Amino acid sequence: MRQSWIAFLIIGFLFGACGEETPTPKPRIYPRVEYPTGEWTSFEDSNCPFSFEYPEYVEVKRSETYARMNPVHPCWFNLVYPMFNAEIYCSYVPLNSRAEFDEVRMDAFEIIDQINKRSDYMEEIPYRNPQGVSGLVFDFSGPAASPFQFYLTDTSQHFFKGALYFNTQVRPDSLAPVAEFVKKDLERLLGSFKWE
């Protein structure tokens, strides 16, 4: 009698578990991103021998120390995207000789080389804007710590470097749309950049 009762329960559970709909797992989704809009303003600072345009929704953040070291020049700052938890680290170095240019350029390439080791692909793009400012732009794809870096220089007096970083774990798929949005901002910034 006990065995038939257990068999009856098992058959009841099997029929109860069978439904018309087959359960499917939920797809992986990412949070919706609200992209900011706003006017552009001019960056001008007495410590910096250059100017450029940047969007008003970006904050300019300065500090006395930079990455746990003292800046070489007082024109070191970050352009902060608080809505994306991202920053563009900006540094400026005045040049007095070709040797100094070679040294800061080598430092920039060492950092770029470290990022490229983690990326799937790096595109190195020579850049020249309408004001005659030139440099190199580095566009990384894949799990790179920084999806975009650049430097602008005249090779004799000025060297300005920028690097985009997100303050989060590197997830290329979820960060790609935000990185593309910031890159469009950077295109306009680079296009408006001029030495004073």
Residue 20 in this model has a pLDDT that exceeds 90: no
Interval 3-10 mean pLDDT: 74
The answer to whether 86 and 96 are in contact (CB under 8 A) is: no
Q: Of the spans 51-60, 67-76, 109-118, which averages the highest pLDDT?
A: 51-60
The candidate with the shortest Cα–Cα distance to 60, out of 196, 157, 189, 174, is 189
State pTM to two decimals: 0.80
Residue 126 in this model has a pLDDT that exceeds 60: yes
Q: pLDDT class for 67, splitting at 50, 70, 90?
A: low
Task: Identify the DSSP state of 124.
Answer: E
Find the distance separating the first CA and the last CA of the chain, reported in whole Å: 97
Q: pLDDT class for 73, splitting at 50, 70, 90?
A: confident
The candidate with the shortest Cα–Cα distance to 112, out of 70, 154, 140, 90, is 140
Rounded to the nearest angstrom, the gap between the alpha carbon of residue 36 and the centroid of all alpha carbons in its chain is 16
Q: CATH for 38-195?
A: 3.40.1000
Q: Domains of the chain: which residue ranges?
A: 38-195
φ/ψ of residue 11, rounded to 5: -65, -35
Residue 14 in this model has a pLDDT that exceeds 70: no
Residue 196 in this model has a pLDDT that exceeds 70: yes
